[in-house]
């Protein structure tokens, strides 16, 4: 006891003692942190090993089935879904039309799929397919027992929204040949031309319709709000990136050196299209 008191009475000895004591605490803290780090590394390694084992089991299971047989099985399962009445909707997983389904529509809030590769809502998809179901391009196809119309339309929307994907991915996912996919594309374009002529109308010869649109622009937020008068359309343009065309491809290259075309659109006060025009990106519309 006396020795301890004598040590503490010496300032230099006391300082050295405190330094040693601090070093011991620091070493102990570092050792505990290192132990925690090692335990965390071991836990992560065990989790990774478990995931790898599950992955190996899945790969072994898939290797027992040929890829062609697997694609045919999935394709047949998808095509067995039937329309309930004439109302349909689709579900999307991993941006693949292979998961398109047909079910009866229930009243619900429309859900947008901007985060997917379709850029269309279920409600809009339902309306589009029900509209195209009566078009001559699809009536014959359905009468011959072809691919359901909702699958055809979904596949083409997926193609248009993902122009960097080729035919092979569609062939693998839905067992649809290149020729059928081309027929789907041509059929959709021809049908949409007729739909566009009916739905996208510029009030050129309808004075009353033009006046109604101008009135809606002026009083959209109430009669007391200050709005633009004598306006019948809101105009905007966009460069739509596409695959470079085989013929005259250089005419579709824009100022950013991307293959694209110009899109000019005019909408009314309800954002409904009244006029749409497309042209080469290097030319005036």
276 near 200, Cβ under 8 Å? Answer: yes
Q: Show which of 11, 32, 63 is a domain's final residue.
A: 63
Asked if 174 and 230 sit in the same domain, the reply is no
Structural domain includes residue 70: no
**End-to-end CA separation in angstroms for the chain:** 101
89 near 125, Cβ under 8 Å? Answer: yes
Structural domain includes residue 184: yes
At residue 95's C-alpha, the angle toward residues 122 and 64, to 5°, is: 130
Distance CA 198, CA 212 (A): 19
Distance CA 170, CA 158 (A): 10
Query: What is the domain count for the chain?
Result: 3
pLDDT in tens, the chain (285 residues): 444 444 445 555 666 666 667 777 777 778 888 888 888 888 888 888 887 787 777 777 767 777 677 667 766 665 555 433 333 333 333 344 444 444 444 444 444 444 455 667 777 888 888 888 888 888 887 778 778 888 888 888 877 776 656 666 667 666 777 888 888 889 999 999 998 888 888 888 888 888 888 888 887 665 556 677 788 888 998 888 877 777 777 777 888 788 888 889 999 888 888 998 887 765 544
Asked if 241 and 260 sit in the same domain, the reply is yes
The DSSP bridge partners found for residue 265 are 236, 276
Element spanning 275, H or E: strand 273-280
pLDDT confidence of residue 2: 47
pLDDT confidence of residue 75: 64
Query: Rounded to 5 degrees, what are φ and ψ at 280?
Result: -60, 140
Which of 59, 128, 116 minimizes the C-alpha distance to 88? 128
How large is the angle between the packed helices 122-132 and 178-199, nearest 10 degrees? 90
Q: Show which of 167, 199, 231 is a domain's final residue.
A: 199
Tokens found for residue 152: 């055809």
**Tokens 């359905």 label which residue?**
142
Structural domain includes residue 231: yes
Residue 144 to residues 43, 139, 141, Cα–Cα distance (Å):
59, 9, 5
Asked if 50 and 84 sit in the same domain, the reply is no
Q: Which positions ≥6 away from 142 have C-beta within 8 Å?
A: 133, 148, 149
Structural domain includes residue 69: no
DSSP 251: G
């Amino acid at each position: 006891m006396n020795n301890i008191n004598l040590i503490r009475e010496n300032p230099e000895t006391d300082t050295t003692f405190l330094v040693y004591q601090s070093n011991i605490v620091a070493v102990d803290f570092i050792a505990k942190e290192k132990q925690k780090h090692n335990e965390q590394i071991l836990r992560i390694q065990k989790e990774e090993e478990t995931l790898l084992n599950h992955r190996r089991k899945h790969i072994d299971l898939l290797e027992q089935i040929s890829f062609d047989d697997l694609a045919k099985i999935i394709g047949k399962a998808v095509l067995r879904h039937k329309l309930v009445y004439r109302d349909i909707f689709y579900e999307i997983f991993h941006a693949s039309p292979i998961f398109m389904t047909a079910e009866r529509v229930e009243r619900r809030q429309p859900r947008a799929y901007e985060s997917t590769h379709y850029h269309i809502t279920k409600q809009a998809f339902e309306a589009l397919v029900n509209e195209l179901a009566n078009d001559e391009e699809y009536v014959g196809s359905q009468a011959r027992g072809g691919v359901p119309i909702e699958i055809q339309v979904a596949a083409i929307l997926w193609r248009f929204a993902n122009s960097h994907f080729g035919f092979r991915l569609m062939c693998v996912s839905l067992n649809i040949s290149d020729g059928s996919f081309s027929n789907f594309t041509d059929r959709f374009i021809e049908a949409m031309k007729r739909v566009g002529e009916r739905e996208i109308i510029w009030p050129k010869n309808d004075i009353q319709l033009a006046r109604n649109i101008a009135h809606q622009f002026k009083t959209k937020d109430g009669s007391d709000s200050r709005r633009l008068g004598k306006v019948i359309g809101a105009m905007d343009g966009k460069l739509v990136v596409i695959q470079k065309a085989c013929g005259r491809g250089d005419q579709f290259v824009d100022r950013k050196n991307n293959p694209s075309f110009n899109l000019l659109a005019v909408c009314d006060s309800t954002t409904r299209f009244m006029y749409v025009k497309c042209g080469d990106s290097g030319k005036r519309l």
